[in-house]
Chains A and B, each alone.
Chain A
């Protein structure tokens, strides 16, 4: 066991995957000698060399596009997009190509690639560096979308993503990169994609979140406990494919649902979860579904960023509303 930060866990997973399978390649801007601007690929260049850790020219669409070519030829490229604000040009490649190659060739060509990118706000970065585009990617058939909330999850889920036979978009919550350390066993075990986790159980209200918002969700649950409200916290972890069963089972027990995410509300991924619960567990609901989200605005610059990001208080208030509803 070693105590690792989330970004170190990403690094450990990459190293493990590259050691176990020489088809795994890392490519992106500054991922080589520099080890990536967040150091996620630190040291890989030294160990694996320039044939396996490739500094690309500055061209995000082609980082995704070249990865498709490599993947179709049997490599397992792990492409880094430096910030998700620059991943939007990759949507063409992911949506029009990576996601549908298997289907449109009826399985003849496949695309086992991972597109990694730091995502979300909270580090007072400059504009375009704090985007939360998980819903945009999750809307695309044929890809998988993962957002880990802890070093151990980052390690296990990234390994699973790299070993997955289909394209995976792996969004790393920037604000958790160095926020905390935890013991991570570098055993290459991996964790299954497509499963929600339940970091805290409770019988009164279900709080669903993912990525960085898990921190706020758990803090809210702590405070609710002091009020004798037992909140269950569900970490979605894989947004696509969604493990609705875990969420539905929880809501069937608690009867109350609060969904928290930092992306804007409209067409955010919370809407998908709310719709599924409304459609399948309506009769279990004792209160309206609450959504705690970012606003339908741009992520503001650093000075007001904290006011944009949903805070523990907002989750608490939503949970209390749900509890008080009669």
Chain B
């Protein structure tokens, strides 16, 4: 909480400043984390480029925040359930959502939510904070069935001001459900800085009122984020209940592609945060330990870029669904009145064509 020390394993230069968790002693595992950080960033760059050229919709970048996303997801078991907000591309990629699905979603195609892989993960939640109770429901389902599974819910600093989050933390605490709530505190909620969001000294302390543990972690340190989430998940699986984690990071980008952050934020502030960014941090550490070098970096960049380019092409080549599809999934069985509208829409589409 406020008095407790911020958990950190690597400092901003990638030097070890805390005890190494077990998983981090495996260079291959660190390389896997590094790969997803890089892939997320390359995806991000491409998504913005596509948006700028009118080939993708409004997009919420995760530049600078990749470690929160990837770290939290990496702590999860495959059959845990992720309940994300809209900036957790890194978590989704780690969990197995494909690049093409991500492009489809941000390109305005619902099929992007029909993940082939983490079938039980929730799609992005665009209304801020309203997904927090869903995670409680999912975790309650696990508890009631006696599953050793957990739900991980990620939301932003702004979300913590909403009743939904307070309600969800409270209920999760009362029922001791296996849920982990991760605040991706990127310091800004569009133009409102963290200190105008709440007078609370930390966001982690919002756990106090719910009677659950709250911890702060350096959100640019993927090792620390994963370690703290793993601990919280272990606790959850032991039946000890939920945890609130505040991961401190920084939004190096605009809020979305429709936003111009220079209207409310100093460039100097942004540049001040670049040296702490998560990708370079892990790369420095790996390099210093002799587990990374220029060749590996080049090979990785090449591999990720071609994966992203390939997925983008596939996305761009995917034709839109017929208008009838908007009727097909409203109910399990289409009611008569809707069937009529479906037919009318098809006729309309035909005559428009």
Contacts and interface: CB of A to CB of B under 8 A. Distances in A.
Counting chain B residues whose Cβ lies within 8 A of the other chain, the interface size class is: 35 or more
Interface in B302-353: 325-326, 329-333, 335-338
A104 B132 CA distance: 18
B122 A57 contact: no
A66 B164 contact: no
A189 interface: no
B113 A69 contact: no
B39 interface: no
Given A62-B168, A103-B110, A110 B332 contact: yes
Interface in A227-264: 241-245
B33 interface: no
Nearest to B138: A69
- Residue in B133, B136, B164, B333 with the greatest tally of chain A CB atoms within 10 Å: B133
Nearest to A110: B332
Interface string A49-77: 00100101101011011111111111101
Nearest to A243: B336
A320 interface: no
A106 B114 contact: yes
A166 interface: yes
B167 interface: yes
A144 B115 CA distance: 27
Per CB-CB distance, the 10 closest pairs between chain A and chain B, nearest first, are A69-B137, A65-B133, A241-B335, A73-B141, A165-B332, A62-B167, A66-B137, A59-B167, A62-B133, A69-B138
Interface of B: 81, 83, 110-111, 113-115, 119-120, 122-123, 125, 127, 130-142, 144, 151, 163-164, 167-168, 170-171, 174-175, 325-326, 329-333, 335-338
Counting chain A residues whose Cβ lies within 8 A of the other chain, the interface size class is: 35 or more
Contacts of B120: 72-73, 109
Nearest to A164: B332
A142 B330 contact: yes
A245 B336 contact: yes
A106 B111 contact: yes
Given A62-B168, A97-B134, A166-B331, A69 B163 contact: no
B168 A65 contact: yes
A106 B101 CA distance: 13
B110 to A, nearest CB: 5
Interface of A: 25, 51, 54, 56-57, 59, 61-62, 64-75, 77, 92-93, 96-97, 102-110, 141-142, 144, 164-166, 194, 241-245
A283 B168 CA distance: 54
21 contacts: A59-B167, A61-B163, A62-B133, A65-B136, A65-B137, A69-B134, A69-B140, A69-B141, A70-B140, A72-B122, A73-B120, A73-B141, A75-B141, A77-B137, A96-B127, A97-B125, A103-B110, A106-B111, A108-B114, A165-B333, A194-B336
B167 A104 contact: no
Contacts of A166: 331-332
B133 A106 contact: no
A56 B133 contact: no
Contacts of B330: 102-103, 141-142
Contacts of A141: 330
Given A194-B335, A241-B337, A67 B137 contact: yes
Contacts of A103: 110, 326, 329-330
Contacts of A66: 133-134, 136-137, 140, 171
Contacts of A108: 113-115, 119
A102 B144 contact: no
Nearest to B111: A106
Contacts of A77: 137
A57 B338 CA distance: 38
Nearest to B135: A69
Nearest to A105: B113
Contact of B151 (A68, A69, A242): A69
